[in-house]
């Protein structure tokens, strides 16, 4: 896919798992599927964004589970469990 800025973006898409990646790396860096990937999904007639592309941090239930840092120390818990 060539975007308006003359840069060539290559999208790799697995039709079985509906998981793809793009050379612009927007999803990998910001967790947001890029327009190149969405274009490929539309071309593949995928009507809904696959679950894989909606990260937990963007879901309503993201605050239900406690949050730990990399050392396993509890940073944040919901009100019922604390």
Which C-beta is closer to Zn ion: that of 7 or that of 63? 7
Tokens 């898409």 belong to residue: 13
Could you say whether residue 40 binds Zn ion (CB under 5 A)?
Answer: no
> Contact between 34 and Zn ion (CB under 5 A)?
yes
Residue 24 in contact with Zn ion, rule: CB under 5 A: yes
Q: What are phi and psi of 68, to 5 degrees?
A: -115, 150
Note whether 41 binds Zn ion by CB under 5 A.
no
Binding residues for Zn ion, rule: CB under 5 A, are 9, 22, 24, 34, 36
């Amino acid at each position: 896919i060539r975007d308006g800025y003359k840069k060539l973006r290559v999208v790799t898409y697995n039709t079985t798992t509906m998981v793809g990646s793009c050379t612009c790396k927007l999803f990998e860096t910001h967790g947001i599927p890029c327009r190149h990937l969405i274009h490929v999904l539309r071309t593949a007639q995928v009507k809904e964004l696959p679950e894989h592309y909606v990260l937990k941090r963007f879901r309503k239930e993201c605050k239900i589970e406690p949050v730990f840092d990399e050392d396993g120390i509890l940073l944040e818990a919901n009100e019922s469990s604390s």
